[in-house]
Every structure is written in structure tokens, then in C-alpha cells.
Amino acid sequence: MGWKLVNRLAQVREDGGLTQVELADKLLISHQTIAAIEAGSYVPSIELTLRIAYFFKRPVEEIFRLNQKK
């Protein structure tokens, strides 16, 4: 068994009325990074995870969570 980080970043971003490019610009990262996080193919650093949560003024757990793999 292991763990997988899943996220609701696309939904939170869309709720905020932002495109991937706009969010990336505000976080000073590439839009490819945002796309990869949303697709689940990239696990962001703790720093970036916290920056995203801070930007949206939401607890980390509202955007990211761990699921246990079977």
C-alpha cells in the first residue's frame, strides 16, 4: 500500500475565475506546472502547496488530500 496526492486545484482555480496561465503568473511558476498538478502527474513541493492554499485563502486540505492506494 502507498499514498497518492489528489487535488481539487482545477475546480478551485475555475471557481476563482482564473486560467492556468493567470494562476501560474500570480504564483511565478509555469502554466505547465499548473497543468501537471491538476492532471496529477506532478506532486508540488510543500512550499508550492502552501503558496497555492495561501493564494486562494483556503486550508491546504480543501485543495490537496492524500488517498491511500490499495
* Average per-residue pLDDT for the chain: 96
What range defines the domain where residue 19 resides? 2-60
Can you give the pLDDT at residue 26? 98
Looking at the 3D structure of the chain, how many domains does it have? 1
Establish if 15 belongs to a structural domain: yes
What DSSP string describes 7-62? E-HHHHHHHTT--HHHHHHHHTS-HHHHHHHHHTS-PPPHHHHHHHHHHHTS-HHH
Establish if 69 belongs to a structural domain: no
Establish if 7 belongs to a structural domain: yes
Establish if 11 belongs to a structural domain: yes
Establish if 70 belongs to a structural domain: no
Establish if 14 belongs to a structural domain: yes
Establish if 67 belongs to a structural domain: no
Can you give the pLDDT at residue 70? 74
Give residue-wise pLDDT tens across range 5-18.
999 999 999 999 99
- What pTM did the predictor assign? 0.92
